[in-house]
Amino acid sequence: MNDRQENSHSFRLLFVCLGNICRSPAAEIICRTVLRRAGINAVVDSCGTANYHVGSRPDGRMLAALERAGYAYDGHRARVLLREDGERFDLIIPQDAENEREVHRVISLTARSSVLPMRRWFPAGCRYHEVPDPYYGRDKDFDEVVALLAESMPALVQELCNSTGQSTHPRG
Ligand code: 4NP
């Protein structure tokens, strides 16, 4: 579990999609990679709002797209969003509007977590308004999701640094 391990001193982020086999595990892997390279301490996890794929590895097409972009799978298995996640994480990041509504339905109105959509960190002029679901798509759709997440992640990490007062220590 290495840097996904629970640590009471770390900022805690949770990415959420529907099945937790395509978009949110990709976001988790890319975010953890960016954080590690920047020398920033945070706990990163992902989950789905549906339970169809609980216990599964990410979709093979997403793992292939991640590998093409230089990101390595580090063992995540799909799990479903729990009400307790609203107390366990500082920031919950739904990948699309439907899953954002689900997050608000599942966690308590008084949950500790902030909920901010992934689109908040999309690059200026981006043609998407949410992370598109690639599940019924082709390889290029998986590549587009990886590219969109990779382009957005530095802005998310920068905002996280600003809010936690951590500075980056690039590790190449
Ligand atoms: P994800 O993609 O929400 O990005 O993991 C999907 C995975 C599975 C299904 C739909 C979307 N499904 O219908 O099984």
Atom nearest to 99 CA in ligand 1: 3
pLDDT at 38 over 70: yes
Catalytic residue flag (residue 171): no
| Phi and psi torsions of 118, nearest 5° | -55, -30
C-beta 23 within 6 A of ligand 1: yes
Candidates 80, 88, 93, 94; CA nearest to 108 is 88
What are the angstrom distances between the C-alpha of 111 and each of 18, 86, 107, 139? 21, 5, 6, 37
Please state the domain count of the chain.
1
Residue to probe by mutation, ligand 1, list 18, 76, 93, 146, most atoms within 8 Å of CB: 18
| Phi and psi torsions of 167, nearest 5° | -105, 160
pLDDT at residue number 5: 46
- Tell me if 76 is assigned to some domain: yes
- Tell me if 171 is assigned to some domain: no
Compute the distance between CA of residue 110 and CA of residue 94 in angstroms, rounded to an integer. 18
For position 51, which CATH number holds? 3.40.50.2300
C-beta 135 within 6 A of ligand 1: yes
Burial class (CB in 10 A: 0-12, 13-18, 19+), 167: exposed
Among the options 12, 17, 59, 96, which is catalytic?
17
Residues 86-107 pLDDT 10s: 999 999 999 999 999 999 999 9
**What pTM, to 2 d.p., does this model score?**
0.93
Fill in the DSSP letter of residue 157.
H
Among the options 45, 59, 96, 133, which is catalytic?
133
C-beta 61 within 6 A of ligand 1: no
- Tell me if 169 is assigned to some domain: no
Q: Out of 2-6, 115-119, 162-166, 168-172, which region has the weakest mean confidence (pLDDT)?
A: 2-6
pLDDT at residue number 157: 96
Token pair 């997440």 is at which residue?
A: 149
Residues 6+ apart with CB under 8 A from 158: none
- Tell me if 28 is assigned to some domain: yes
Please tell me the distance between residue 11's alpha carbon and the centre of ligand 1 in angstroms. 27
pLDDT at 8 over 80: no
Please tell me the distance between residue 44's alpha carbon and the centre of ligand 1 in angstroms. 20
The pair of structure tokens assigned to 43 is 């706990």
- Tell me if 170 is assigned to some domain: no
C-beta 58 within 6 A of ligand 1: no
The pair of structure tokens assigned to 13 is 């982020």
Please tell me the distance between residue 128's alpha carbon and the centre of ligand 1 in angstroms. 18
Q: Among positive and negative, which fits the CA dihedral 115, 96, 55, 73?
A: negative
Nearest CA to ligand 1 atom 9: 19
Domain range for 129 is: 2-164
Burial class (CB in 10 A: 0-12, 13-18, 19+), 29: buried
pLDDT at residue number 9: 59
- Tell me if 54 is assigned to some domain: yes
pLDDT at residue number 171: 60
- Tell me if 159 is assigned to some domain: yes
